[in-house]
Amino acid sequence: EVQLLESGGGLVQPGGSLRLSCAASGFTLSTYAMSWVRQAPGKGLEWVSASSGSGGSTYYVDSVKGRFTISRDNSKNTLYLQMNSLRAEDTAIYYCARSRFLEWPDNCFDPWGQGTLVTVSS
């Protein structure tokens, strides 16, 4: 069964850092582009970042550019999101999701993980 399992969320102070992980099972991570999507409490979905299958190409929404880094360890079948200089507005559930293709772009994200909650507060 194809599954994604996020971890690493938690409470962090403004200006702090967190690293999220997304463990993939049932498929080979290196053959798919992957994305991170977030959802602030009671709000809509926001696409955050994408990585090509090799990890050689990465993309970010402007609000996280320079602060967040998407990466992957294909040998561990795991995707990461390193989040630095966190702000209150980064508070959200963070989902990882698989694309159909090796390369970005794509619009079909399937499956999604269950999400991990990041709370930025003092």
Partner 1 sequence: QSALTQPASVSGSPGQSITVSCTGTSSDVGGHNFVSWYQQHPGKAPKVILYDVSNRPSGVSNRFSGSKSGNTASLTISGLQVEDEAEYYCSSYSSSSSLGVFGTGTQVTVL
Q: Which residue ranges make up the site for partner 1 (CB under 8 A)? A: 35, 37, 44-47, 50, 59-62, 95, 100, 104-110, 112-115
Which is closer to partner 1, CB of 59 or CB of 74?
A: 59
Which is closer to partner 1, CB of 77 or CB of 106?
A: 106
Q: At its nearest, how many Å lie between partner 1 and the CB of residue 105?
A: 4
Which is closer to partner 1, CB of 27 or CB of 112?
A: 112
Q: At its nearest, how many Å lie between partner 1 and the CB of residue 54?
A: 17
Beta carbons within 10 angstroms of residue 41's beta carbon:
9
